[in-house]
Structure 1
Amino acid sequence: MQMLDTLALVGEVLSWVGLGLGLPMLLIGVLIRTIEGPWLPAEIAIIERDGALLARWFAGGDFHERPLSRQESATAEAGWADGVVSANNPSHARVGEPPHARRVVLTLGIVFAGVGFAGLVVSLLPLLWS
């Protein structure tokens, strides 16, 4: 019976840590997803004006323009580039892939919550075994 009690203790610790970290991360990930909205693929024109690279795109029934950031300028060339546009705010676009923060937070939240749930089940074994 000592082995079962030790296993239950380990399961309880895992459930507290896993659920304590996983559920807030899931909540934060869902909030980020709700605020940002989906990212839609778009073709973005990259032009050079006065030595600076500008991005231009058409979304939401209007044309938009903004200067490229340093990171984007290092990877972009004049011409056409693949990018993404925020569905909630068409004036917000990125050259390349959408930001990964939402995906990372959701993935970590799912992993931690899964470990926490498994630990919760394991911690209940002495109650079910008796």
Structure 2
Amino acid sequence: MDAWDTIGVIAEVIGWVGLGVGLACFGLVLLIRIADGRWLPTDAVIADEADGSTVRWFAEGEFHARRLSAAERHHVEDVDEEKAFYREREPEHLRLHEPPAGRRVLRLLGIVFLALALVAGVVGVIGLLVG
């Protein structure tokens, strides 16, 4: 067994591991997307009233509004407009903070591992042709 055979075997193992982990990451991203839905950005207007604060936003062709809890109002800056995110399937649900980055991290890891598998596959083919 010469050096190119060894490189080919190592590349094949790395390729299969990268492919498996990359596809698993994309599978988790898909499950999160199905469970949590897609959150789209919008501008929300905060209205302070005597009996509490209300947030209003425009989504999917309609205006929506809901009351802010004291904790939510405490975390919102003292501005009239706030960057917010609403759920695409249910535009009456609003987040005043950006959705968690877990989905983006998993998607990036999936891309990295699939690219690693692709590079390992190319190295394995080169090792097969040279060796």
Q: TM-score range by the shorter chain?
A: 0.7 to 0.9
2:65 match: 64
Bigger shift: 13-22 or 49-58?
A: 49-58
- CA positional deviation for 1:26: 1.6
SS of alignment partner, residue 91 of structure 1? coil
TM-score (norm. length: structure 2): 0.72
In structure 2, runs of 5+ residues without a counterpart are none
Alignment check: 8 A CA contact 1:53 1:73 kept:
no
1:80 match: 81
TM-score (norm. length: structure 1): 0.73
1:93 match: 94
2:126 match: 125
Q: Give the total of aligned pairs.
A: 129
Alignment check: 8 A CA contact 1:30 1:106 kept:
no
Q: Deviations over 1:67-87 (max 9, x none)?
A: 369588435335221222222
Once the two structures are aligned, what percentage of the paired residues are identical?
A: 33
2:24 match: 24
1:106 match: 107
Q: Deviations over 1:89-112 (max 9, x none)?
A: 202222244432222211110111
Note closer, same or farther for the CA distance 1:77–1:117 as it changes in structure 2 (3 Å cut). same
Partner amino acid for 1:56? R
Distance across 2 between alignment mates of 1:18 and 1:72: 45
1:42 match: 42
Alignment check: 8 A CA contact 2:7 2:127 kept:
no
Distance across 1 between alignment mates of 2:28 and 2:57: 30
Give the aligned CA root-mean-square deviation in angstroms. 3.1
Bigger shift: 78-87 or 47-56?
A: 47-56
Distance across 1 between alignment mates of 2:91 and 2:76: 22
Note closer, same or farther for the CA distance 1:49–1:11 as it changes in structure 2 (3 Å cut). farther
SS of alignment partner, residue 76 of structure 1? coil
